[in-house]
Amino acid sequence: MPYKFRLRLATQHPRKFTFSSTEKEFDIPDGPKLTLVARNANSLEDATTFHIDGGGYSSEVEARNAGEALRTELRLLNAILSVGLNIPVGDTPSTSNSDELKKSSSATDAGVIVDGVWGLLTFPDDGIHFECVVGGNLEVRPSEPQYLFDALKTIWTIDLQLDSASEESLQILGLANLESSDRAAFLTSYLALEPLVQRTPRSLASKKLIERFKVQLQKASKRTRSPISAVEAQSLSGALSALHEESFSSALARIGRRLVHPTQIQGIPVRRFLSACIGARNKIAHGADPKPSYPLRQLANGLRDLAITLVWTRNKLPRLTLNTPSSIISGQTGSIAIRIL
């Protein structure tokens, strides 16, 4: 039985692929025939979620390997060409159909329904297996469009003087708000805390030990037998110098132990929240699948909340109450549809 792969991707704004058709085929020399399909609109130019199909593989393993190769290549091209696509790194279930619906579909020879995946999905390429997708282009907007200027009225009377660390942090937070990838939003929000978190010097005993290491390193670079190269010695010396201060993760954990208010971030006790953030960041840095206790988007939102709290505290700003209005979701008639893909 032949198999196919399906790779999901998305973008923040339509008109990313300006084709008036619902799908478009592309031939890759010495590669598969790929089909780009709009998932939430009747044309590719109006869609913001897509998938790419490739089929005709002799086994599911072969189909998955081809899909993974495509994912890696698209991520590279997305960075080089600044396409602006959200290409998931991992695979997350996105839709689940009831057993009753699946049985009913099979019993009536309508076909075999497969559950959706945000990422890479493989299934038989037999024309019988399909996804049942409910979607469309919905517009989400604030119910009170003047809310930004209402907030401005509240904050206008404050003598708002921010230190350079706060300015840098707010700039990074602004970039995090634009990220469509949960992982990128989390890492950017994590970075936004660095200017705000002061690292304390190591103890005198620790500093003396570091200096002893530096002396040993200098001797190792000058010995006649198997000396350490000058480049490596310089790199190690810099790494040792950085040890004179505690690591950022240690400083962040220390803040969690000392923070009295708030007691929770995103509904999570502060120490547990920061521990989850540090663990997720370290796993990402070492190439491991983060799979944190809490969703990365929730951790990113919490880091933003913490950064704003620190900005407020370090600049001694008065307490304010700012209202965020509820959202209105709307769409044109016929914009929501059930699609068989």
- Digit-coded pLDDT (tens) for 54-63: 998 999 999 9
Q: Is the pLDDT score of 302 beyond 70?
A: yes
- pLDDT for res 187: 92
Does 145 fall in a domain? Answer: no
Does 8 fall in a domain? Answer: yes
Q: Specify whether 173 is located in the same domain as 307.
A: yes
Q: Specify whether 113 is located in the same domain as 63.
A: yes
Q: Specify whether 121 is located in the same domain as 230.
A: no
- Is 118 in a helix, a strand, or coil? strand
Percent of the chain whose pLDDT exceeds 90: 17
Q: Where residue 88 falls among pLDDT bands split at 50, 70, 90? A: confident
Does 325 fall in a domain? Answer: no
Does 256 fall in a domain? Answer: yes
User: Which residue in 153, 123, 169, 168 sits closest to 305, CA to CA?
Assistant: 169
The residue that leads in pLDDT, 95 or 205, is: 205
User: Which residue in 170, 140, 151 sits closest to 324, CA to CA?
Assistant: 151
Q: Where residue 13 falls among pLDDT bands split at 50, 70, 90? A: confident
Does 322 fall in a domain? Answer: no
Does 147 fall in a domain? Answer: no
Q: Is the pLDDT score of 336 beyond 60?
A: no
Residues 242-248: what's their mean pLDDT? 83
The residue that leads in pLDDT, 179 or 297, is: 297
Does 146 fall in a domain? Answer: no
Among 221, 242, 263, the domain-final residue is 242
Q: Which of 44-48, 150-154, 259-263 has the lowest mean pLDDT?
A: 150-154
Domain total of the chain = 3
- pLDDT for res 180: 74
Q: Specify whether 50 is located in the same domain as 177.
A: no
Q: Specify whether 129 is located in the same domain as 43.
A: yes
Q: Specify whether 55 is located in the same domain as 186.
A: no
Does 34 fall in a domain? Answer: yes
Q: Specify whether 313 is located in the same domain as 226.
A: no
Q: Which of 10-14, 264-268, 275-279 has the lowest mean pLDDT?
A: 10-14
Q: Specify whether 38 is located in the same domain as 90.
A: yes
Q: Specify whether 255 is located in the same domain as 194.
A: yes
Range of the domain at 98: 3-139+331-340
User: Which residue in 68, 278, 295 sits closest to 182, CA to CA?
Assistant: 295
**CB 113, CB 340: distance < 8 Å:** no
Q: Where residue 335 falls among pLDDT bands split at 50, 70, 90? A: low
- Is 21 in a helix, a strand, or coil? coil
CA distance 321 to 220: 60
Q: Specify whether 218 is located in the same domain as 278.
A: no
Residues 231-253: what's their mean pLDDT? 85
Q: Is the pLDDT score of 228 beyond 90?
A: no
User: Which residue in 183, 74, 86 sits closest to 66, CA to CA?
Assistant: 74
- pLDDT for res 214: 86
What ranges in the chain are assigned the alpha helix state H? 60-81, 99-107, 147-155, 164-178, 182-193, 204-222, 230-242, 248-258, 270-285, 296-314
The residue that leads in pLDDT, 185 or 159, is: 185
Q: Specify whether 18 is located in the same domain as 122.
A: yes
The residue that leads in pLDDT, 5 or 135, is: 5
Q: Specify whether 127 is located in the same domain as 237.
A: no
Among 219, 242, 265, the domain-final residue is 242
Residues 206-225: what's their mean pLDDT? 86
